[in-house]
Amino acid sequence: MDILVSGLLLSGTYALVAMGLNLQYGVARIMNLANGEVLVLGALAAFWLYTTSQISPLFTVVLVAPISFIGNWLIYRFLLLPLVRRSKTQGNLEVDSILATFGMSFVLIGVMVSIEGGFFAYKYLSSPISIFGSTTSLSRFVSFLIAAIIGFLLYLWLNHTRSGVAVRAVSVSAEASGLVGINVPRVSAWAFALGGMITAIGGALISTFITLDASIGVVFTLKALIIVIMGGVGDIRGAIVAAIILGVVETTVATLIDPGLTLAAAYLIFLLILLFRPQGLFGRRPL
Amino acid sequence: MIIRNILKTTLAAAFATSVVMATAVSADGVIKLGAIAPKTGPLAGGAVVTQWPNVDLWVTQVNARGGLNVNGEKMTIELIQYDDKTNPGEHIKLAQRLAEQDKVDFVVAPYGTGFNIATAPIYGRYGYPMIAVSAITDKAEELTERYPNLFFTLGTTTAFVEGVREILIEQRAAGEIGNEVAMVNVADAFGIELADRAREMFSEAGFELVYDKSYPLGTPDLSPVMKGAKASGAKAFVAWSYPPDSFGLAEQAIIEDLDVAVYYSAVATSFPAFSGAYGNKINNVLGAGGTNVDDPQVAEYRQAHLDITGKTADYWASANTYASLQILEQSIEGAGSIDRDVVTQYIKDNSFETVMGTLSFENNISSTFWSVGQWQDGVFRGVKGNDVDGAVGVRVKDGWAD
C-alpha cells in the first residue's frame, strides 16, 4: 500500500512535468529543451512570493497561469514561429527548435540566478497526512490532486470539444489539418502556450515539496522527455500512463530493492519501450 | 587652422597622459585575483551560499582599507570571476585563461572536492598557491605531496566520520541509542567515500548498520528511503547527503515522524535556508561542520557578511572560506611580495590569525576544523571538531514538533 500511494503521488509530480512538454512537442512540434527551466521559473515565483510576502503557492498558481501562458505564447510567436516557417521538414524543425530552446534555457537560467542563486527552500503544507494508512505530506497530495484535475480537463477538452479535436488533428498531421480549414499556426501557438502554462503551474506546485535551485531544470526536462517518448508523442493519455508507470516502478524499486537503482529502473523501462514499441505506449505508427 | 591644431595636440596629449596614468595604476597598484566557481549547475546552490559571498566580502573589505600592504606599497585587489557551470572541463579551460590571458597574480581555490582535485595540476603548473576549503578527502596527504602548492583546511573523510562516531558512542553509553544505525548516502564521490569509511569505522565501534542504502543525486522522492530507515527501528540516522537531498530527507523525516535520538545529515544542514525552511522542527538536528558562534571574532565576521553581501553566512564553510582568504592576505603582506613561490613558502612556514582561530599547516594540511555541528534553538553550533575551541554538548533529538 505504501508503495502504491507513494508511487501514485510521485506519478502526479511526473505528470505535471510531462503534460506540458507533450502538448508542445506533440502539437506544436517544438522539442522544448527549456521545458525544465520554465518549470523552475514557476517554482521561483512561488518561492519568491511566499518568502517575501507570504503569498500561498496555491494562489501563485493562479497568478503564474496567465503570465506563463502569455509568456510562452510570445516565445512561440516571435522566437519559434520564424523557425517553423523556415523549416521544410519535421526533422529540420526539430533540430532548429532544439538549438533555439537550448539557448533559451541558458538565458532563463541566467535570469533566475540573478534573482536567486541559492536554494528555493521554503515549506508549505508540509504537515503529514495519512492515506490508506500510508503517511505522506499534504503538499504532495494537493499537487497530485491538481495534476489529476489538469490531466482530466485536458483529456475532456482534447476529446470532447471542437477546439480539442482541432488540436489533435494538428498533432496527427499539420498538413492535412491545414487542408481541412484548421488554422495550424494558431492552434500550434495555443498548444505551446498551454503546455508552457501547465509546466509553470507544475513548477509552482512541485516547489512546495522539492527543494529546487535555478540550475536544476535539466533534470526535469530529461524526465519529461522520457515520459513523453514512453507515452507516445502528442497523446495526453500516454503521458499520464507513462508517468504512473514510472512513478510506481521507481517507488517499488526504491522500497523493495534499493533506492540506488531507481534511475537504472527508469531507463530500463524506457529502453524496453523503445525496443518493443518505439512509437510509445499510445503512439501511432508512422504512416 | 592653428587653433584646431593646438586643440588636436592638447587632446592627443591629454589622451596619452591618461593612458599612461591608467597603465601606471594597473601595473603596480593592483593585485589581480582570479576566482572560478559554479554560478550555475548542480553545485551552484552551495557555491552561492558558501563561496561567492565570501570572496566578495573579502575583496570589498580589503579595498575599503586601501588594499594590501606589499612591502610598503598599497595594492588593491582586482577580482576576475568566472562561472565554471559545475563542469570540471570548463573550469580547467577558464583556469588556463586566468593564467595566460588575464595573468592573475593569485587564485581562489575551486568549490567542491572533485573540482579541487581535478584542477590541482593546472593551478600547480602555474605555481598558484591554492588554499582549498570545500574539499574533504582522505587522499589529502598524497595530493599535497604531488602538488606542493595545494593546501587543505576543512578536514578529512576520516575526521568527519570520526566526529559522528564519537557522538554515536556517547549516546549509546548514555542509553539513548542502541547498536543499530540507519545510514544512507548520495551516490556521488563525496557520499560514497564517506559511507565506505563509515561502514568500517562504525562496525569497528560495534555498531550494526540495519539500513544501509544509497540513492542517486537529485532523487525527487525520498519517501521510500525514509520509510525504510524508519522500518529498520534504528534510533540513530546518518545521511551522507548533498544539498537538495539534505532538505528532502529532513522533510520526509518530519512527515514520517522518524523516531530517532540522533539525526545527522551532511552538507547544507548548516545553511541558514535549512532552518529557514523547517524552523524549530529541525531543532537538535546534527550536520557537517560548525562554527563557534560565541567567539566575538566569528560574530563580527557574520555581521560583516550580512552587511556587505546582504546574506547570512552559513554556519560552516563560509567562515573557512573567509579564513582561507585571510591566510592569502597575511601571507602576501608577510612575504612582502606577490611572487607566488615566495608566498607559497610563507604559507607553509607560518601560522595565521583568522576567523577560525590560529591556523597553520603541517605537510600543507591544517588540522583545525569543525566536523559536526547541531541546530540548537535556531543557531547551528559546533559540537565536534579538531583543535577548536567552544564545542558545546550534543543534545538528543526529541521529536519533530514545531
Pairs across A and B, CB distance < 8 A:
121
Asked if A96 and A27 touch (Cβ cutoff 8 Å), the reply is no
Q: How many CB atoms lie within 10 A of CB A67?
A: 14
Same domain, B187 and B276: yes
Separation CA A199–CA A209 (nearest Å): 16
Question: Testing the interface with A: which of B255, B274, B309, B318 to mutate, by most A Cβ within 10 A?
Answer: B255
Asked if A87 and A93 touch (Cβ cutoff 8 Å), the reply is yes
Same domain, B337 and B188: no
Same domain, B146 and B168: no
Same domain, B125 and B24: yes
Query: Looking at chain A from residue 96 to 155, which residues have their Cβ under 8 Å from any Cβ of chain B?
Result: 109-110, 113, 117-119, 121-123, 126, 128, 135-137
Report pLDDT for B28. 59
Same domain, B48 and B122: yes
**What is the average pLDDT across A195-200?**
95
Q: Is the pLDDT of residue B17 over 50?
A: no
Same domain, B231 and B180: yes
Residue B77, domain CATH: 3.40.50.2300
How confident is the model over A233-271, as pLDDT tens digits? Answer: 878 888 999 999 999 999 999 989 888 888 899 999 999
Same domain, B111 and B135: yes
**Domain membership of residue B78 as a residue range:** 10-156+294-370
User: Is B103 a domain residue?
Assistant: yes
User: Is B1 a domain residue?
Assistant: no
**What is the average pLDDT across B92-113?**
94
User: Is B399 a domain residue?
Assistant: no
C-alpha cell at position B255: 512527515
User: Is B126 a domain residue?
Assistant: yes
Report pLDDT for A259. 87
Same domain, B39 and B150: yes
Same domain, B105 and B39: yes
B401: Cβ–Cβ under 8 A, 6 or more apart, which residues?
B280, B281
Closest-CA residue to B31 (of B105, B102, B103): B105
User: Is B5 a domain residue?
Assistant: no
**pLDDT band for position B18 (50/70/90)?**
very low
What percentage of residues in chain A have a pLDDT greater than 90?
52
**Pairing between β-strand A119-120 and β-strand A212-213 as defined by DSSP bridges:** antiparallel
User: Is B116 a domain residue?
Assistant: yes
Same domain, B255 and B302: no
- Region of residue B191 (left: phi > 0; alpha: psi -120 to 50; beta: else): alpha
Q: Which helix (H) or strand (E) holds A203?
A: helix A184-206
Same domain, B136 and B168: no
Q: Is the pLDDT of residue B27 over 50?
A: no
Q: At what angle do helices B340-349 and B317-335 cross, to 10 degrees?
A: 110
- Long-range CB pairs of B118-123 (<8 Å, 24+ gap) are B118/B88, B118/B91, B118/B92, B119/B88, B119/B91, B119/B92, B119/B95, B120/B146, B120/B147, B120/B150, B121/B147, B122/B92, B122/B95, B122/B96, B123/B95, B123/B147, B123/B149, B123/B150
B249–chain A nearest CA distance, Å: 10
What DSSP character marks residue B198? H
A43 vs B contacts (CB less than 8 Å):
none
Same domain, B219 and B237: yes
Distances (CA, A) of A255 to A1, A4, A15, A260, B212: 11, 11, 21, 10, 13
Question: What's the total number of domains in chain B?
Answer: 2
Q: Above 0.90 for ipTM, yes or no?
A: no
Q: Is the pLDDT of residue A157 over 60?
A: yes
Q: Is the pLDDT of residue B7 over 60?
A: no
Report pLDDT for A206. 92
Within an 8 Å CB–CB cutoff, is residue B358 touching chain A? no
A80–chain B nearest CA distance, Å: 25
User: Is B363 a domain residue?
Assistant: yes
User: Is B393 a domain residue?
Assistant: no
Query: Any idea where the domains of chain A sit in the sequence?
Result: 2-276
Q: What CATH architecture does domain A2-276 belong to?
A: Orthogonal Bundle (1.10)
- Per the confidence metrics, is the pTM higher than 0.80? yes
Report pLDDT for A205. 93
